[in-house]
Chains A and B, each alone.
Chain A
């Protein structure tokens, strides 16, 4: 898997390169500013990107903008966005930039190496990975309409789906069987009026519905 990496902090960039290369990824381009990032994303060999939200020159949200731009130019291009802060607004903008293949994580989640690498892999495979903090904020809200039909357990399952976990992982975390999880997920799809289709897309769309994108 050939990646484009954008991170302006030299120490973190070196760490990320080491971490990703050590886990079987190839770093095609490692850049530290917006202009080189835009150039790197044009490389047809690139298969996915791992980006910091803040990049020089203006140190605001150019990483996010670049992610949205590349997904407009190359639909479905997998992008994992890392940030010092998670912002609902940014999560929504990323998710709205196409179905799936996006991740949005706090930078310090990198410290859980296995989990982080797994997240990048799932995004590259077309999945959605959201930081537990984003998920928790949405959870804390009392939402109305179709989501109100969900039972507390189903909400819990949906939250974990948003974080990007597989059925097996959800089963492990909730201490239930795989079959029970599959039953909950089917019931969520029914309640959210998601027609039967490709299973992975239904998962993403359930998450989108829940974030009201």
Chain B
């Protein structure tokens, strides 16, 4: 997904500047590598964990510096390829870092890069400093530094094949989650219909049958009572069907789209919730539905747990990302891993490469951000088919 950089390629003097920087960074890298080894060994006596907690971010910083220099030299973009850190405590984060293959590639690079780096850098620097070799410096610097950049890219960035493999991995996981989710939804619907509306319709039919019999036995009082029962059972069945439909696809979402449906959710809250929606069109229906249920879940949490006095929701679509933010001024301390609700929303959004992030320090405020990459369709107008 690299795009051609719009900035001009660096000149020879800047490349030499990179060489100088990389020379000194190489020394830092040697130190970091030693600390890695020391930290790794001392993990047995816990002290190492502290060392590694400092060394890992430092390594990433150095590697990112080299990535940006390589990106400038090669004229391509090299985004940092690290896995995003999940919300949660130190050990959750540590596990993600350890499981990230790029952490180990960084380490391998730390071992090899100083040797390559010092050699290349020294050649470039010495060629410039010794005036006689200026001629060679003029011609040798760009290819040397490009070779260095290619070397860094090879170590520090995933190749196309590797990226595709990772993508397949992610897609396989989210597809499995989605299939599980749909199967569970279908089971829930089946159960709701079976235990709710269906059972009530059976009861209704029974009441009507008995009323029929009561007319035959000329007991109109009894018949009237049974018909009255039948009517209240009908009302119950309709109510059940209504809630099943709401669970599948809320009517207001179909009518008014995401902005209107979120506004309707806000109205139903006990505390005042302001809605600021700026959507120039409608997202694809599955995304709309996933974001709607996500926001509904967040609002339910605000109502149940936050103790907030005010809430706010913003909906926006920028740079092909639909972003919904739900905030409140409650007591904070929300943990997305604690209940099943938030995890369910995360899984549902993941199917569209979407994410959910929670910022909720103790004492508040809590801010939940849902982001889904998608394209909006133009606002719906009356279909061209016209009235029937």
- Chain A residues near B (Cβ < 8 Å): 33-36, 53-54, 56-61, 84-85, 87-90, 92, 108, 111, 137, 140-142
CB pair A88–B264 under 8 Å, yes or no, is yes
Tell me, in angstroms, the Cα distance from A56 to B380 when the chains sit together: 15
Binding site for A on B (CB under 8 A): 231, 234-235, 238, 242, 245-246, 251-252, 254-256, 260, 263-264, 267-270, 380, 382-383, 385-388
Q: Is the CB of A111 within 8 A of B242?
A: no
Closest 9 CB pairs of A and B: A35-B387, A60-B255, A89-B264, A61-B255, A88-B267, A141-B270, A108-B238, A33-B387, A85-B251
Inter-subunit contact B268/A137 (CB<8 Å): yes
Task: Kindly list chain A residues whose C-beta atoms are within 8 Å of the C-beta of B256.
Answer: 60-61, 89
Distance A90 CA – B386 CA, assembled complex (angstroms): 25
The answer on a CB contact under 8 Å between A36 and B264 is no
- With most chain A CB atoms within 10 A of its CB, the pick from B255, B263, B270 is B255
A111 and B231 in contact (CB under 8 A), knowing A88-B268, A141-B270?
yes
Query: In the complex, A78 Cα to B386 Cα: how many Å?
Result: 28
Contact with B387, one of A36, A87, A142 (Cβ below 8 angstroms):
A36
Q: Contacts A33-B388, A137-B268, A141-B270 known; A87 to B234 CB distance under 8 Å?
A: no
A-B contact pairs, 23 of them (CB 8 A): A33-B387, A33-B388, A34-B387, A36-B387, A54-B255, A56-B387, A57-B385, A57-B388, A58-B383, A60-B254, A60-B255, A61-B255, A84-B251, A85-B242, A85-B252, A87-B252, A87-B264, A89-B256, A89-B263, A92-B267, A111-B231, A111-B234, A141-B269
What's the dominant secondary structure at chain B's contact region? Answer: helix
| Assembly CA distance A58 to B234 (angstroms) | 28
Counting chain A CB atoms within 10 Å of each CB, the highest count among B238, B245, B267 belongs to: B267
Contacts of A142 in B (CB 8 A): 270
Which of A140, A141, A142 is packed against the most chain B CB atoms within 10 Å?
Answer: A141
CB of A213 to closest CB in B, whole Å: 11
Are A57 and B387 also in contact (CB < 8 A) when A87-B251, A87-B252, A111-B235 are? yes
CA distance A59 to B388 in the complex (A): 12
Bound CA span A166–B119, Å: 95
- Check A89 against B234 for contact (C-beta < 8 Å): no
How far is A90 from B260 in the complex, measured between Cα atoms in Å?
A: 10
Cβ contacts under 8 Å, B260 to chain A: 89
Residue of B nearest to A62 (CB): B382
Which residues of the other chain, B, contact A54 by a CB distance below 8 angstroms? 251, 255
In angstroms, Cα B272 to Cα A141, docked, is: 11
Q: Are A89 and B267 interface neighbours, CB within 8 A? A: yes
Residues of chain A lying within 8 A (CB to CB) of residue B388: 33, 56-57
Instruction: Tell me, in angstroms, the Cα distance from A87 to B388 when the chains sit together.
Output: 27
Instruction: Determine the distance from Cα of A36 to Cα of B388 in the docked complex, in whole angstroms.
Output: 10
Residue on A with the closest CB to B235? A108
Give chain A residues whose Cβ lies under 8 Å from the Cβ of B234: 108, 111
CB distance from A8 to the nearest CB of B (A): 9
Q: Which residues of A contact B267 (CB under 8 A)?
A: 88-89, 92
Min CB distance B103 to A, Å, is: 50
**Least Cβ distance of B101 to chain A in Å?**
49
When C-beta atoms are compared, the residue in chain A nearest to B239 turns out to be A108
**Shortest beta-carbon distance from A180 to chain B in Å:** 30
Distance A33 CA – B268 CA, assembled complex (angstroms): 30
A52 to B268, CA, bound (A): 23
A54 to B256, CA, bound (A): 12
Chain B residues in 8 Å Cβ range of A140:
270
Distance, CA A68 to CA B234, complexed state (A): 31
In angstroms, Cα B199 to Cα A115, docked, is 28
Contact check, A84 vs B270: say whether CB atoms are below 8 A apart.
no
